[in-house]
Structure 1
Amino acid sequence: MKRYRFGRLSMGWQIMIGLALGIICGMLFYKNNSAITVMQSLGTIFIRLIQMIVMPIVVSCLTVGIANIGDIRKLGRIGGKTLIYFEVLTTIALILGIVMANVTHPGSFIDIHKLHATDISQYMSTAKTAQHDSGFWPLILSIIPTNIFKSMADGDMMPVILFSVLFGLGIAAVGEKAKILIDVLNAVSEVMFKVTNWVMKFAPIGVFGLIGMTIAEMGISALLPLGLFILIAYVTMLIFIIVVLGITAHLFHLRYWKTMRAILDEIMLAFTTASSEVTLPRLMKKTHDMGVEKGITAFVIPTGYTFNLDGSAIYQSLAAIFLAQAYGLHLSIAHQITLLIVLMITSKGMAGVPGASFVVLLASVSTIGVPMAGLTFIAGIDRFVDMGRTAVNVVGNSIATLVIGESEGALDRDKYNAYLDNYGKTNDSSTTPGTKPEAE
């Protein structure tokens, strides 16, 4: 006889409860510095726990995956496809943001001089440094690590990816003598995924802290003056998810809505924490469980977190034109094409820069005559929009992994269909369908 156990909620429901409690506590403890410190600490603990395990997972999974691929020409083909896909999708996202800004004219409905300005000095200093180091050769040099352990400690993803690719190719070239390294790295990845499961039990508390801190610092009232801009930003992101990614999935014969259901917990986690990084370990495991070869998942997802930021692209183009409209600037087609090209270049040139979305805006808006000071008026609501764009980034990278896997014949269709059909039927949706959850 089947026993029903009450009191055990799915990760998605736990995150939603954490979100709701965070909003309530944030409103109750508005501007209460002691409460803000406690909630901020809870959120920071969770983020740091995730950061602790991300790099070991990326190095172990990517190295083993590349070693199993072995063929450098095949690896080059996968890398080329991945970067072309990223460029096409992010360009579409930028264009969509520009089109929606022109259709809805959100900047025409506000008096920018009545908005509250927020300090953006931290972004200004980052932007100056990033602009100084931008360009083709500085970008190439930033990818090459001088000390792999320093890159791992700094969370610098691209040098770690390059090292892991070369390390994996080296293991494949050595052959049987290096087999012990594959066994060790496989064990490392299994151990780190186990640690991930433990860390994720703290996720609802982390979400509670991050949301509570945000609401307590800014208050719900911070949303009201720019409510229309926030609404249009979210509508644009939904259009991208439903239409653009939906069509992309259909072209590659993916079961889009069932895939979305399978990654719903990760979407909610990304949304509530405004951090793509917290979902990386789970997404790598989940897309592999869906049938994508480990080498593809371990390469596409970490690379996507640097180069495939669809939600960020939408926000950047939409925000730039919103500010131009708010200042009463008329932008010709030529101006908007210039903005598109500048955003395409700067977003890649500043990949991996802290607060990259806002920094890219700082580096780009001056090309269309918008004063940099204008960004002080939207900085206050950046966190609320960041939640949406982070969720879009997670969906985009999940679909990218499946698309590249399908294009390479590296997606096991039987496994993919079985995973989606059985998802949610096990006791714990975080386990792979067909496997037993851990004994308690």
Structure 2
Amino acid sequence: MPAFGRAVPSGDGGSPTDPARKDAAAGPAEPARRKRIYHQLYFWVLVAIALGIIVGIAFPAQASGMKWLADLFIKLVKVVIAPTIFCTVVVGIANLGDLAKAGGLALKTLTYFIATTLLALTVGLVTVNILQPGVGLNLSFDEADAAATLDQASEAGGEGVSGFILHLVPDSFFSAFVDGQLIQVLVLAILVACALTMLGGRAKGAIRALDTGAHVMFGVIKIVMYAAPIGAFGGMAYTIGEYGGQILGSLAYFMASFYLTCVLFIVVFLGIISRVTGFSLFKFIRLIRDELLIVLGTSSSESVLPRMMVKLEAAGAKKSVVGLTIPTGYSFNLDGTAIYMTMGAIFIAQATGSEISVWTQIGLLLFMLLSSKGAAGVSGAGLVTLAASLAAFDSVIPLAGIALIVGIDRFMSEARALTNLIGNGVGSLVIARWNKDLDRDRLKEVLDNPNLIDMDALMRPGGADDEDAARAGESAATPESNGSAPERPTGAAKEPTPAG
């Protein structure tokens, strides 16, 4: 079986669906060569993280000024995220050729995300009540320490549900791209995809152009990823240098409680969901190790959003599913942020001696189920959204108590981002299986041997075409064994079915 993303010999340069190409690809394939460890991205990111920790401990004053390295890397990725999502989502939905199917996919996506968010909020609430990291502290706080966060929270949550709904629609078509508002870009992409689907065959040229644009963006991202170790180094050095000596006593216990809860949620609950879906969670984590390490170093899950989309598609999830679920998940499926919100709120109540009844806690949980969906596009989303939620319960939990966790929020952001990333990845595969758009045979092979996915080939312009050629050969050589996924479109067959 050829490695996904590796080029299949083109022979006479015919179409990827040409029978001659299929026969050539169906022949004995060379086993995927295992890259030397120093050619792996995760190796250099690990080295960078280790160096960042050393520099942060040895030279804290200098390290605290290195955050710009991480910020630069994240900005380089963010500059192409919006056009990448737009092109990918439009092409994916338009290729479905059926608006009813697209609507069904969107409904399943939102249903799953709401269910897992509720689960994450509940897990955080139960755990913080059992471990009680803030009980007996009776801490005082300085409201000035949280002034900036409270200002952001008032802007983010001041308009309520109606403000959030209005925020879904940009002021102009291009303002969503200029401001980097992913949820607005997603809304525009869905509208454009619906319009192209209704055009039928006349839309083929536009879809082909958008697909080419997506390939170009992936090529840019591939170049930017060479700077990932530098970003990870700067982010980790800054974190250790700036905050390394400020973690004391029960605040460290609260941090440990949060990390433990995230691990519990991932291993137990996401593990069960993965097993029911038919794959191993730990093998999936191994598959996305590069992305996890980049997130660990930069404290931002957005830094790997395009890579996750490419990798999940290469692992067997259909492009239309990945294109919708991953961007939507970054706004509606923030499991780590949900855990942080309930744990942070109850910790503040415990630390300030506030008594909260069970019914008030349930009301807080239900309110956060809605407010957590407004975290998209907010800088420091976890802390800011927590503060915005507490504003509605200021009579029982002092809002200014957010100052207690402002200092350690940076250390918590890594766990939030990692949990969010794993949750979105698992969710995309679950929804793909639910929608019968998951090639389970391919997923099993990729999870057993992650080297079958060549990210260097997939991220270069035109890399996906090589992948399609490889898949064309596989489908010609080996029929689907479990009937769980339809034949995936290849090469020229990627055009949408004319509507009507």
| TM-score computed with the length of structure 1 as normaliser | 0.91
- Residue number among 81, 96, 103 corresponding to 2:123 in the alignment: 96
State whether structure 2 residue 72 is matched by structure 1 residue 45: yes
Q: Counterpart in 1 of 2:266?
A: 241
Q: Counterpart in 1 of 2:222?
A: 197
> Compared with structure 1, are the counterparts of its residues 138 and 117 closer, same or farther at alpha carbon in structure 2 (3 Å cutoff)?
closer
> Compared with structure 1, are the counterparts of its residues 431 and 109 closer, same or farther at alpha carbon in structure 2 (3 Å cutoff)?
farther
- Determine if contact 1:70/1:169 at 8 Å carries over to the other structure: no
CA deviation vs aligned residue, 1:162-205 (integer Å, no higher than 9, x gap): 11111112122212222111111111111221221211111010
Q: Distance in 1 between matches of 2:320 and 2:304?
A: 18
State whether structure 2 residue 210 is matched by structure 1 residue 185: yes
- Residue number among 122, 130, 133 corresponding to 2:156 in the alignment: 130
Instruction: Name the SS of the counterpart of 1:112 in structure 2.
Output: coil
- The CA deviation at 1:402 is 0.4
Q: Distance in 1 between matches of 2:211 and 2:108?
A: 26
- The CA deviation at 1:415 is 1.9
- Determine if contact 1:49/1:199 at 8 Å carries over to the other structure: yes
Q: Distance in 2 between matches of 1:349 and 1:149?
A: 21
- Residue number among 135, 157, 160 corresponding to 1:108 in the alignment: 135
Q: Counterpart in 1 of 2:448?
A: 421
State whether structure 2 residue 368 is matched by structure 1 residue 343: yes
State whether structure 2 residue 55 is matched by structure 1 residue 25: yes
> Compared with structure 1, are the counterparts of its residues 294 and 425 closer, same or farther at alpha carbon in structure 2 (3 Å cutoff)?
closer
Gap runs ≥5 in structure 2: 1-30, 459-465, 468-500
> Compared with structure 1, are the counterparts of its residues 256 and 430 closer, same or farther at alpha carbon in structure 2 (3 Å cutoff)?
farther
User: What letter matches 2:350 in structure 1?
Assistant: Q
Question: Residues 376-415 of structure 1: matches in 2 within 5 Å?
Answer: 376-415=403-442
> Compared with structure 1, are the counterparts of its residues 223 and 389 closer, same or farther at alpha carbon in structure 2 (3 Å cutoff)?
farther
User: With CA pairs under 8 Å and 6+ residues apart, which has the higher RCO, 1 or 2?
Assistant: 2
Gap runs ≥5 in structure 1: none
User: What letter matches 2:93 in structure 1?
Assistant: I
- The CA deviation at 1:111 is 4.7
- The CA deviation at 1:224 is 5.2
Report the count of equivalent residues: 429
Q: RMSD of aligned C-alpha atoms?
A: 2.4
CA deviation vs aligned residue, 1:92-146 (integer Å, no higher than 9, x gap): 1001011101111110253523x788722222112112222222x3222211223
CA deviation vs aligned residue, 1:202-242 (integer Å, no higher than 9, x gap): 10100111111222222334355511101010000001000
Q: Distance in 2 between matches of 1:142 and 1:227?
A: 37
Q: Counterpart in 2 of 1:63?
A: 90
Q: Counterpart in 2 of 1:176?
A: 201
CA deviation vs aligned residue, 1:360-415 (integer Å, no higher than 9, x gap): 22123351612122111110100100100100000000011101100111111222
- Determine if contact 1:270/1:387 at 8 Å carries over to the other structure: yes
Q: Counterpart in 1 of 2:283?
A: 258
State whether structure 2 residue 397 is matched by structure 1 residue 370: yes
Q: Distance in 2 between matches of 1:345 and 1:217?
A: 33
- Determine if contact 1:118/1:380 at 8 Å carries over to the other structure: no
CA deviation vs aligned residue, 1:257-278 (integer Å, no higher than 9, x gap): 2112101221222122111110
Q: Counterpart in 2 of 1:333?
A: 358
- Residue number among 291, 297, 316 corresponding to 2:322 in the alignment: 297
- The CA deviation at 1:330 is 2.5
- Determine if contact 1:315/1:389 at 8 Å carries over to the other structure: yes
Q: Distance in 2 between matches of 1:4 and 1:101?
A: 44
User: What letter matches 1:25 in structure 2?
Assistant: V
| TM-score computed with the length of structure 2 as normaliser | 0.81
- Determine if contact 2:109/2:325 at 8 Å carries over to the other structure: yes
Q: Counterpart in 2 of 1:232?
A: 257
Q: Distance in 2 between matches of 1:181 and 1:273?
A: 36
- The CA deviation at 1:249 is 1.2
The range that moved more, 23-32 or 238-247, is 23-32
